[in-house]
Amino acid sequence: MKGVIRVLPWAMVAGAAWSIGAWFNLYYFQDPAWVNSIYTQKIARAEAIKAPRRILLVGGSSTHFGLQAERLQKKLNIPVVNLGLHAGLGLDGIFKLVQNEIRAGDIVVLFPEHDLLSYTPEENSGILATLVGLRSQRFDLLQGEQENPKNVANRLILVGSPRLFDVVAALRSEIFTRRKPTWYQFDVNQNGDSLDSLSGKPPFGETSVELSDASFQQIDHFRQFVEQRQGKLILGIPWKLAKSEPKTQSQLRQVIGSLSKIAPVVYNPKTLNLKEDISLFGDTTFHLTREGQKLRTEELAEQLRPLVTQKVARN
């Protein structure tokens, strides 16, 4: 009994610390707040469309900051919504956040970033998905299919474990400047596109890409779900700022070959969507400037045109 009494104060302190950390992560840490904001708006944009066919652009921030759904809609004369979110959600989180919006007749175009293609099951069900799920009361995000319960428990513990740097930076900003740190726009346009004009100096160098068994299975499972909803899945390769080395080209061709077993893959066969013009990119190797988004969207329109004007078949 004495041992329990001695432990109790420490348990109370730990519980209080977890609660404070959870509050910070859920309501002040910018990533889940930003994702939750744009997600809510994007879903509302998609729900408002009553057309028999829609094109849904799905992926991480390379989709949100890399494509212009409004421009694509004008090119293809089909309603288009940009449902790009954040790669930190993992494939599991991204799929669960968008799957309820998929209807019969929809053409879902998925653009998984290179990192998402190589993720392990744990990485594809990341802490950010848990945070966003809690904010959105989407508790199904807490646990992916066939996931180890231990991993779920670990993520719940991490919900109350803010990074010290983030806490200090946030408090410093709030106390001394009375404003939150600079971040991306929390609003989107009528098609779910980003309103940001990005700039910066992203790193330029070699890259590598591979497709893990876990990611292959998750994408294939998503394809089955889309088809059960009487929709069609198309896969796309995001533009990335990187040197077009023979080794990287070989890796990409192998990845594209594997993905084509799941669904049609749209990409530029000459460049494999590796770009060396840094002026087209904003603050990361996947985020595009306005001009980059325009060029990327126009190229995508031509790649999608033959697939959306006829029945989409698996390769």
- For residue range 84-127, list pLDDT tens digits in order: 998 888 898 899 889 999 999 999 999 999 999 998 766 555 65
Helix (H/G/I), strand (E/B), else coil: 181: coil
What mean pLDDT is reported for the chain?
81
Q: Does the residue 314 lie in any domain? A: no
Specify whether the CB–CB gap between 253 and 210 falls below 8 A. Answer: no
DSSP readout, 25-70?
HHHTSHHHHHHHHHHHHHHHHHHT---S--EEEEESHHHHTT--HH
- Total count of domains within the chain: 1
Predicted pLDDT at 90:
86
Predicted pLDDT at 96:
87
H or E segment and range at residue 109: strand 107-111
Q: Does the residue 95 lie in any domain? A: yes
Q: Does the residue 265 lie in any domain? A: yes
Q: Does the residue 53 lie in any domain? A: yes
265-269 contact pairs (CB < 8 A, 24+) = 265/234, 265/235, 265/236, 265/237, 265/315, 266/109, 266/234, 266/235, 266/236, 266/237, 266/300, 266/303, 266/304, 266/307, 267/236, 267/237, 267/303, 268/299, 268/303
Tens-digit pLDDT profile for residues 273-299: 999 999 999 999 999 999 999 999 999
Q: Does the residue 315 lie in any domain? A: no
Write out the residue range of the structural domain in which residue 182 sits: 1-309
Q: Does the residue 285 lie in any domain? A: yes
> What does R_g of the chain's alpha carbons equal in angstroms?
21
Q: Does the residue 101 lie in any domain? A: yes
Q: Does the residue 39 lie in any domain? A: yes
Predicted pLDDT at 174:
44
H or E segment and range at residue 266: strand 265-266
The amino acid occupying position 116 is L
This prediction's pTM: 0.81
Predicted pLDDT at 92:
84
Give pLDDT < 50 ranges for the chain: 4, 7, 142, 157-158, 160, 164-165, 167-168, 170-182, 312-315
